[in-house]
Amino acid sequence: MTHLLIIEGNSPELLEKMAQAGQLSDSQSYSAALLACQPDLSIDFFQPYHADSDLTKLSLDQYDGVVFTGSSVNWSVDEPEAAPLRETMEKVFANGIPTLGSCNGMQLGAVVLGGEVASSPNGRELGMAKNIKLTDAGAKHPIHQGREDDYACSCVHRDEVSKLPAGAILTAGNQHSPVQAFVYERDGIQFWGMQYHPELSPERIAELVAGEGLFNTDPELAEHLNKVAQDSESESVAALGIKPSDLAPKMRMREIDNWLKMIQP
C-alpha cells in the first residue's frame, strides 16, 4: 500500500476558523482528492505551524511521497514566519522523497530550491486559472500527461514564483502567472509543483473567495463557481472563460493522478 504524508500549510488559528465554518482544511481537501484518484492509500498528516509539532521526531522513512498543501496565511513562504514550513520541506528533500506541492506548496518548493516568490503584479488570481499553456517540456513530461493544452484549473493565490530555481523545468504558464507549474528532478530531489489547485472543487474555491479572509472578493464569482459545479454546461462556464472539460474531476486532478502513478513503490 502506498503511504503518504500531507503537510498542512495553514496555522492552527486558521484551521480552527475553517472547522468552525464547517470547511475542510487544506490537508483534508488534499486527502480527499488523493483518495478519489486512488482509494487504497494510507495517509498521515503533519502541521509544522502547530506548537506541539516536533520536526526532529518526524520519521520519513515510511513514506512513499509527501504533499505540501496550499495556505491562507498572511505571510509569504520566504518570510520568517514560514520557517517551520521551509524546514519541513528541507528535511523531506534531504530524505529523497518524491514531493508534490500546490499553490503555497509550489512557491515553497521554489524558495527552498533557490528560487524567488513575490506578489503577482497582476493581483490575485481567483476562481479559475485560465488559458494555461504547456511548454514544450511540459507537453512531454509525465506531470501533465493527459492534459489538454490551453486548460483551466481551480485557483486562488496572491503570490507567485518570480524566479525559478536553477535546474528547474517550467512546464506550464498563463498570462497572469508565467509559472503555473514546474518540476525539479536533480540532486536526489524529485519535486512537482502547480500554482493552481487540482485538489479543490469549484465549490471549495467558492467558499474561499466568498468568505471573509485573505482571498475574499465579490460574491458574483462565488455564484458562478457554484453554478458550474452543479452544471458543467451552465452559462457560468462561459462567464468564467473556461471549457466544460476543465470541470471534469478526472481532468482537474490530472497532475495528482499522474504523481500517484509515478511514485508507486
Residues 2-12 pLDDT 10s: 999 999 999 99
Domain coordinates in residue numbering, the chain: 3-262
Mean pLDDT, residues 110-128 taken together = 96
Dihedral, CA of residue 242, residue 245, residue 250 and residue 254, to nearest 10: -60
The answer to whether residue 3 is catalytic is no
What is the pTM (predicted TM-score) of this model?
0.95
CB 98 within 8 A of CB 149: no
Catalytic residue among 141, 157, 176, 197: 197
Read off the pLDDT of residues 62-84 as tens digits, 9 standing for 90 and up.
Answer: 999 999 999 999 999 999 999 99
Does pLDDT of 217 surpass 80? no
Q: Name the band, by pLDDT with cuts 50, 70 and 90, for residue 123.
A: very high
Does pLDDT of 19 surpass 70? yes
The answer to whether residue 103 is catalytic is yes
Does pLDDT of 213 surpass 70? no
The answer to whether residue 116 is catalytic is no
Catalytic residue among 8, 125, 160, 199: 199
Does pLDDT of 214 surpass 70? no
pLDDT of residue 9: 98
Average pLDDT, the chain: 95
Q: Name the band, by pLDDT with cuts 50, 70 and 90, for residue 193.
A: very high
Q: Name the band, by pLDDT with cuts 50, 70 and 90, for residue 212.
A: low
Catalytic residue among 8, 37, 103, 255: 103
Nearest to 242 by CA among 253, 232, 254, 250: 232
Read off the pLDDT of residues 219-261 as tens digits, 9 standing for 90 and up.
Answer: 889 899 999 989 988 999 999 999 999 999 999 999 999 999 9
Read off the pLDDT of residues 40-64 as tens digits, 9 standing for 90 and up.
Answer: 999 999 999 999 999 999 999 999 9
Does pLDDT of 218 surpass 80? no
pLDDT of residue 186: 96
pLDDT of residue 102: 98
Does pLDDT of 88 surpass 90? yes
Instruction: Report the top-level CATH class of 3-262.
Output: alpha beta
